[in-house]
Amino acid sequence: MRFFPILCLLLASQLLAGCESFTLRGPWSDEPGTTVSQPLPEDVPAPAQCPEPQQVVCAEPEVKVVERVIERTYEKVVEVPVAKDKLVLGEVEIVALEPGGLTLKSLIDTGAATSSLSVNDLKPFERDGKEWVRFKLAASAEDEPVTVELPIKRHVRVQRPGFDSQRRPIVNMSLTVGDITHMVEVNLTERSGMDYLLLVGRNFLKDAAVVDVSRREVQGEPRLPVAQ
């Protein structure tokens, strides 16, 4: 039995070699700290370590420069000089027509080379071996039509968009607008539903008038020349 204390000391030294030491403080200890050896459990994970701090560089914000260009349009009124001896006509004028003695509201048509008149009952005939034409004309549907007979000067073929070409007789007639009276060639046609029976073409306007399409009836009632 005398070897029993020695065996106990050997066992205690082996146990102390396999344990880790830690300090406990408690009311049961007279010393400031007591070292107690306790084995660490195998399933306790290793303490987590904080990652190394990384420097983050923020990109500079993208700045867009937007250029706005505002265009302003100004209307410019240009005064066009007009010769003193020329008439200023609107898009529509009142025209006196002879023979026939009629006064018609007429369209001033700068796109037509020859003036044109819409008539009824257009019939060619022969007189003294020459070609003549007879037709009826009225200022409105309520008026009694007048019959006019004139010699045919020549014929012209007219092509209108969307229509077959027409062979029309041409006669000489007197047109008066304002103070100006001209004897001009007029082609005759039978057309219904026209807003204006007479279209005044360039053969009347040439060297006599200028047209302002923004105005109407500039010249007012025609002033027929006084018979000599």
Distance between CA atoms of residues 225 and 177, nearest Å = 11
Question: What domains are defined for the chain?
Answer: 87-212 (2.40.70.10)
Residue in this structure with the two tokens 């007879």, named with its chain if needed: 134
**pLDDT tens profile 42-87:** 555 666 666 676 666 666 666 565 555 455 554 544 444 455 667 8
Distance between CA atoms of residues 220 and 179, nearest Å = 10
**pLDDT tens profile 22-47:** 444 444 444 444 454 555 555 556 66
Q: Are 103 and 139 a contacting pair, CB within 8 Å?
A: yes
Query: Can you list the positions of beta strands (E) in the chain?
Result: 20-24, 34-38, 87-90, 92-98, 102-108, 115-118, 120-127, 130-137, 146-151, 154-158, 166-177, 180-189, 198-200, 209-212
